[in-house]
Amino acid sequence: MRSSAVPNPPASRPSDDGRRNALVLVAAQLFREQGYERTTVRELAAAVGLQSGSLFHHFRNKEQILLAVMANGIQSVIDEGEALLHAERDPARALEGLFRLHMNSLIHGVGGNAMHAIIFDWRSLSDAGKCRIRELGDAYEAIWHRAITAAVDAGLVAGDPVLIRKYVLGGMNHMVRWYKPGGRVHSDIFIDEMLKVAFPELVPVERN
C-alpha cells in the first residue's frame, strides 16, 4: 500500500504565525492529556478560539498538527543545541550543557509533550510523516554525537560514542513516562542526579 504524503502547510501570513504557534502548543498539551486519537478537531479549534473549519487554514489535516507538535519539540533543541556547541568550546561544559538543555526541554519546554507524542502516537503518523520526524531526530542525534565524541577524544568520557549516545538519549527520553514535575524530587535536583548517572565524570566531587 502506498503511504499518503504529508503535504507542507500553506504559507502563513505574518498575522497567522501567533495563532498557528498557539495551536501547536495547545495541541501538544491536549494530545498528552487525552491522546491524539481521542482529541477532536473541534476541541483543538475551540482551545484557541477558532471554528473547526478555520483550523484548516493553518493545517490541512489533523495529522499535520501531530507532525508539527513532534517537529516543534525536536527543532527547538536542534537550534539551541547548535547554538550551545558553537558558543561553548570546552568539551565537558558543552556536553553538560547539552544534557541540561535536553532535560529542561523535556520537563519545562516543548520537548516533553513532543516526546510523549512520539512515544505514544507514533503509529498515527503516515510513512511520510515518520520519515520527516526521523530526519529531524537524526539531525539532533548528530549534535549529540559531536559533543560525545569530543568528550571521548578529550579523555573526559570513556566508551563508544554511538552506544553512549543511544543509552543517554534513550534514558532521558523515556523518563517522560514516569517522572512527574512537582513530585517529591524537584526538577533541578532531578536533572543533577540524572547527570551524575549519565556522565559521572563531568560532575566535580565538590558538587556532590
Please report whether residue 105 resides in a domain: yes
b or e along 158-176 (b: 16 or more beta carbons within 10 Å of the residue's beta carbon)? eeebeebbeebbeebbebb
Domain-embedded: residue 27: no
Hey, what amino acid is at 140? Y
Contact indicator for 94, 84 with CB cutoff of 8 Å: yes
Q: How many CA atoms lie within 13 A of 200 on its CB side?
A: 3
Which CATH number does the domain housing residue 77 bear?
1.10.357.10
CA 149 to chain CA centroid, nearest Å: 22
With beta carbons less than 8 A apart as the criterion, state whether 28 and 74 touch.
no
Q: Where do we find the cell 507514533?
A: 122
pLDDT along the chain (208 residues), means of 10: 44 59 89 89 82 73 92 94 95 96 91 90 93 96 97 94 95 89 87 93 61
C-beta of residue 26 within 8 angstroms of C-beta of residue 59 = no
Instruction: Give the span between the Cα atoms of 52 and 43, in whole angstroms.
Output: 8
CA distances from 18 to 13, 68, 97, 125 (A): 10, 14, 29, 25
Q: How far is Cα of residue 65 from the mean position of the Cα atoms in its chain?
A: 15
pLDDT value for 152? 96
Please tell me the total count of domains within the chain: 1
Q: Which domain holds residue 95?
A: 66-207
In a domain, residue 177? The reply is: yes
Residue 21 lies in a domain: no
Question: Is there a domain that residue 189 lies in?
Answer: yes
30 in a domain, yes or no?
no
Q: What count of other Cβ atoms lies within 10 Å of the Cβ of residue 123? A: 8
* In-domain check, residue 39: no
Residue 47 lies in a domain: no
Q: What is the pLDDT of residue 128?
A: 94
Say what the pTM is: 0.83
